[in-house]
């Protein structure tokens, strides 16, 4: 993306932000906004400043290696009105029935393998991130080491809960029969800490 022409004293230039898009389907793209080289900017904003009239190609402006894009920094773009067709099977390691350990909650990732059905029952909204019976639609998942990053859509008209966002990213780590989950609103940026070390949800396999 390119800014308008900026003039500062005797210099003229433009600011460029580099976004990397990877096509998954005709309606779904992975988007990465790379880490910055400039001090004082958020780590996910990769910008370049180019002086006019110097002409730079996109390859010269956006010269990040793929190693700059760990799965924890991906975002998801979905075309309007294509949510249902964008659903995908939840990660194989998550398929099953679970109980949340901190309150009376069951999780079903088996009846429909493209969604996670939470019955939160008595959970406190101040510590849980949604209320009532909630279905999370699996949209994409990426793995790095023992952690899987799952982007889900909360199929809830009111989107009520501690985080008022329909899209969530969950960092998932599994240890034997226990599942550790760290959720965050909207995208996966900021979930670099292993889920097992800072889990908000701990699920135990049923049966």
pLDDT at 27 over 90: no
* Spans of all domains in the chain: 6-69, 84-205
* Separation CA 149–CA 76 (nearest Å): 12
pLDDT at 112 over 90: yes
pLDDT at 83: 84
* Separation CA 111–CA 114 (nearest Å): 9
pLDDT at 73: 75
- Both structure tokens of 173: 């780590």
* Separation CA 157–CA 129 (nearest Å): 15
Is 195 exposed, middle or buried, given 0-12, 13-18 or 19+ CB atoms closer than 10 A? buried
| Weakest mean pLDDT among 11-15, 159-163, 183-187 | 159-163
Q: How much of the chain exceeds pLDDT 70, in percent?
A: 68
pLDDT at 115 over 90: yes
CB neighbours of 161 closer than 8 A, spacing ≥ 6?
125, 128, 129, 130, 131
In terms of pLDDT, which residue wins out, 46 or 101?
A: 101
pTM for the model: 0.75
């Amino acid at each position: 993306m390119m800014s308008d022409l900026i003039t500062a004293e005797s210099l003229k230039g433009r600011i460029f932000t580099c976004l990397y898009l990877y096509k998954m389907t005709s309606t779904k793209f992975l988007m990465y906004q790379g880490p910055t080289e400039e001090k004082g900017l958020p780590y996910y904003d990769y910008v370049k400043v180019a002086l006019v009239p110097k002409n730079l190609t996109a390859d010269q402006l956006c010269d990040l290696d793929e190693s700059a894009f760990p799965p924890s920094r991906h975002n998801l773009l979905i075309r309007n009105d294509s949510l249902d067709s964008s659903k995908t099977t939840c990660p194989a390691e998550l398929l099953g029935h679970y109980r949340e350990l901190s309150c009376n909650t069951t999780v079903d990732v088996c009846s429909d393998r493209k969604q996670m059905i939470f019955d939160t029952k008595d959970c406190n909204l101040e510590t849980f991130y949604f209320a009532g019976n909630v279905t999370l639609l699996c949209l994409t998942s990426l793995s790095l080491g023992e952690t899987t990053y799952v982007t889900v859509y909360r199929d809830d008209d009111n989107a009520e809960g501690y985080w008022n966002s329909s899209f969530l990213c969950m960092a998932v780590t599994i240890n034997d029969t226990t599942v550790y989950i760290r959720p965050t609103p909207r995208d996966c940026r900021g979930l670099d800490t292993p889920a097992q070390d800072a889990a908000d949800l701990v699920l135990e396999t049923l049966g």
